[in-house]
């Protein structure tokens, strides 16, 4: 968006979403500031490893948290004096002109049709950071890891081919079939069939609001429940798992009865971080989760 030009390799980069943070870390760039999905309710922000979900152990700097990705603090950003601000277009267009007054600002989109995938913007992000060879390396490494996991999980795909992916909040009053999540894309690329109640034309989203009462009508071999809580990006899955296990309707589902149900966090498995590191972490975890089913 805009006519922003970036010369050379930026040294002070602000990443205004988890997806952007994932991408720049994978490219070997550390942030001086970042914005989370929601404003973190923390008195002090001084421990990135513990306070940045899933990506914190890759952070070696002491970035300033500038609030949430849709409403970053312009005052805090100005104080850290970035030489480049990177953000997502769908969250940040309204603030673009003001951000661009602080530092050159570039907005990116990883969405094409119904696909939200880091392949779509990693090369543009890499170009802005003067890291284009690193982007090619990331793409090649992903294909290699995917091929390895596909081979590892081939027996599981044969035995339990049908996977139902759900995005459920901890109150259990917002339930969606989430085939187009990050987890759904990877499971489909591995070879699993994603359960969906109706055919979807190419290019249209496979994300459907439903209810707990209707879930037993969806037959699947495996269920993946992606837990979320708008007030807690850290670990909502344990609370949801406890509530799920107490619900008699959900216990009638064959995958629940056979203990082929897995609870994971939306921050990583849903559609929040959506970067090369996200895919790497999920692909590392899937064999550990699924191979014991055999």
Q: Where are the domain boundaries for CATH 3.40.50.1980 in the chain?
A: 13-130, 155-293
pLDDT tens-place string over residues 242-252:
999 999 999 99
**CB-CB contact of 187 with 181 (8 Å):** no
Q: Distance between CA atoms of 269 and 284, rounded to whole angstroms?
A: 12
CATH node for 155-293: 3.40.50.1980
Which of 282-288's residues contact partners 24+ apart within 8 Å by CB, and which partners?
282/182, 282/183, 282/186, 283/145, 283/146, 283/149, 283/186, 286/149, 286/153, 286/186, 286/187, 286/190, 287/149, 287/152, 287/153
pLDDT tens-place string over residues 153-209:
999 999 999 999 999 999 999 999 999 999 999 999 999 999 999 888 887 889 999
Architecture of domain 13-130: 3-Layer(aba) Sandwich (3.40)
Q: What angle do CA 14, 19, 23 make, to 5 degrees?
A: 75
3-class secondary structure per residue, 91-113? HHHHHHHHHHHHCCEEEECCEEC
Return per-residue pLDDT of the chain as tens, 294 residues: 445 666 678 999 999 999 999 999 999 999 999 998 865 666 677 788 888 999 999 999 999 999 888 899 999 999 999 999 999 998 888 889 999 999 999 999 999 877 899 999 999 999 999 999 999 999 999 999 999 999 999 999 999 999 999 999 999 999 999 999 999 999 999 999 999 998 888 878 899 999 999 999 999 999 999 999 977 767 789 999 999 999 999 999 999 999 999 999 999 999 899 999 999 999 999 999 999 999
**CB-CB contact of 26 with 276 (8 Å):** yes
Looking from the CA of 232 toward its CB, the CA atoms found within 13 Å total 14
């Amino acid at each position: 968006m805009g006519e922003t030009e970036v010369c050379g390799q930026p040294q002070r980069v602000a990443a205004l979403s988890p997806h952007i943070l994932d991408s720049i870390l994978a490219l070997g760039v550390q942030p001086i500031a970042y914005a989370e999905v929601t404003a973190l309710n923390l008195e002090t922000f001084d421990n990135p490893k513990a306070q940045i979900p899933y990506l914190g152990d890759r952070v070696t700097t002491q970035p300033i948290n500038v609030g949430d990705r849709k409403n970053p603090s312009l005052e805090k950003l100005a104080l850290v004096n970035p030489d480049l601000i990177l953000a997502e277009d769908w969250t940040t267009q309204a603030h673009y002109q003001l951000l661009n007054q602080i530092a050159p600002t570039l907005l990116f989109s990883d969405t094409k049709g119904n696909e939200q995938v880091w392949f779509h913007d990693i090369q543009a992000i890499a170009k802005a950071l003067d890291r284009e060879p690193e982007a090619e390396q990331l793409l090649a490494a992903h294909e290699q890891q995917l091929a390895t996991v596909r081979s590892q999980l081939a027996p599981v795909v044969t035995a339990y081919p049908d996977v139902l992916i759900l995005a459920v909040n901890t109150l259990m009053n917002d339930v969606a079939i989430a085939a187009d999540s990050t987890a759904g894309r990877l499971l489909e690329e591995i070879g699993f069939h994603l359960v969906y109640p109706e055919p979807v034309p190419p290019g249209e989203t496979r994300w459907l609001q439903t209810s707990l009462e209707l879930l037993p009508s969806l037959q699947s071999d495996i269920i993946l429940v992606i837990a979320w809580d708008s007030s807690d990006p850290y670990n909502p899955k344990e609370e949801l798992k406890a509530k799920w296990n107490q619900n008699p309707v959900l216990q009638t589902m064959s995958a629940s009865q056979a203990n082929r149900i897995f609870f994971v966090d939306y921050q990583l498995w849903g559609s929040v971080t959506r970067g090369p590191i996200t895919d790497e972490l999920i692909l590392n975890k899937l064999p550990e989760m699924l191979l014991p089913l055999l």
